[in-house]
Amino acid sequence: MKQPRVLTLILAGGAGGRMGVLTQVRAKPALPYGGVYRLIDFPLSNCVHSGLGDVWVIEQFQPQSLNDHLANGRPWDLDRTYGGLRLLPPHQGTPEGGFAEGNADAIFRNIRQIREFGPDLILVLSADHIYKLDYTHVVDAHLQYNADVTMVVTHMPIAEAGRFGVVELGDDGRVAGFEYKPDEPRSDVVTTEIFVYNAAKLLDTLDELAGNGGGDSEPALKDFGHELLPRLVQDGRVYAYLFEGYWRDVGVVDSYWQSHMDLLEPTSPLSLDEPGWPILTYGFHRRPARIHASARIENSLISPGCEVHGHVVSSVLAPGVVVAEGAEIHHAIIFHDTVVERGARVEFAILDREVRIEARASVGSREQPDGEHAPAIAVVGERAHLAAGMRIPAGGVVEPGGSTEVGAKQ
């Protein structure tokens, strides 16, 4: 049997508004993860380990923050003469149309290049989810179903399902119903935003929905869930592939923080360096971490280049973080080259890169606001400077480059 020609499209253009100050100056897929990785490393690593060599990344918001990391595909062996990694820059289409307004619209803006490539199947991935999956299993299921679309689905607590596309399944695995981010979900089965499309069906349906026969003008198609998937469920053959491994959407602050805490579990559901399926990333050169005699570290990930004199508990430190003697770090995520000075305290918080927390300042708290069941995570934007003795409460936010005159004196 002839193998289908598969084109992978990674959607990496979203502005990441739900991540607040963490994505004001970077694309969401460029967010650090697990100390030394970036979110986009997960779909790229899955592609390479699945043997998929034609990978296009559709960009829009702050593309340079992503391009520096992608390094023309070299970390994933995708810097090839034929095939490999291809970056699709922000595409306006017509002067009246503006930039893409959703993931379906983003694909439509590049429809000419896709048709010229001539794929049989199109694998569409998001770049802000944490999981490991062999995509060839999904492709094989798609071919077996003779489907127009195969969507990878997973179970989600019903209270959280409304953040996603909610799927109703028939007895044979066929998708019987689909609702996009409903207020009252009728199922706990949700899409993971991993799709295999019959290329002709996808492109023809996009043309039809856009109403222009393949031109570049609007109306915008927005996200898959608004028009594309409901139309295909109604008129096409749409099947589900159930994924039962670890999958987390880290597009909001709480889930991003929680996924890092999952990494620190004694029996973590996610291995980042599993033999045969490691998560690959852009290389960097830093000396080994230095742990001083005064340091106390418990259940944490400490990256190269870190210098730890203080107490670090259940936290993830990116390269170059400095924790001074007497500083306390608890249940925190700290990005590159941030400094926490003597006597400062950081807990249930995320600190962006090159932040300075001066002596005796505090960020976040284990004492959560009344009525809150989940931790309220404090967030400090990049290059912010918190003056000595200042306090940021649980759930507080400091803007990137924020003034020292924020918070309240202790």
Return the SS3 of 63: helix
The CATH architecture assigned to 6-263 reads Alpha-Beta Complex (3.90)
Judge whether 6-263 and 290-409 match in fold.
no
Please, are residues 201 and 149 in contact by the beta-carbon 8 Å criterion? yes
- Largest alpha-carbon pair distance within the chain? 71
Spatial contact of 56 and 10, defined as CB atoms under 8 Å apart: yes
The helix (run of H) or strand (run of E) holding residue 167 is strand 165-169
Q: Where are the domains of the chain?
A: 6-263, 290-409
Amino acid of residue 117: F
What confidence score (pLDDT) does residue 152 get?
A: 98
At 210 the three-state DSSP class reads helix
The pLDDT value given to residue 371: 56
Amino acid letter for position 46: N
Its sign, for the CA torsion 170, 186, 177, 162, is negative
Q: 64 to each of 61, 126, 171, how far by Cα in Å?
A: 9, 18, 46
In whole angstroms, give the CA distance from residue 112 to residue 210.
Answer: 14
Alpha helix (H) residue ranges in 75-192: 103-109, 111-117, 135-145, 158-161
pTM of the full structure: 0.92
CA angle 39, 251, 239 (to 5 degrees): 90
Per-residue pLDDT of the chain (410 residues; tens, 9 = 90+): 678 999 999 999 766 678 999 999 889 999 999 999 999 999 999 999 999 999 999 988 788 888 989 999 999 999 998 899 999 987 655 444 444 457 888 899 999 999 999 999 999 999 999 999 999 999 999 999 999 999 999 999 999 999 999 999 998 899 999 999 999 999 999 999 999 999 999 999 999 888 744 444 444 577 787 789 999 999 999 999 999 999 999 999 999 999 999 999 999 999 999 999 999 999 878 999 999 999 999 999 999 999 999 999 999 999 999 999 999 999 999 999 999 999 999 999 999 999 999 999 999 998 876 656 678 999 999 999 999 999 999 999 999 997 655 444 44
To which H or E segment does residue 44 belong?
helix 41-49
What separation in angstroms does the CA of 147 have from each of 122, 174, 197, 235? 12, 9, 8, 12
Q: What is the pLDDT of residue 23?
A: 93
> What's the token pair of residue 324?
């001074």
Per the CB < 8 A criterion, the answer to whether 127 and 29 are in contact is yes
Instruction: Give domain 290-409's CATH number out of 1.10.1660.10, 3.30.460.10, 2.30.29.30, 2.160.10.10.
Output: 2.160.10.10
End-to-end CA distance of the chain: 71
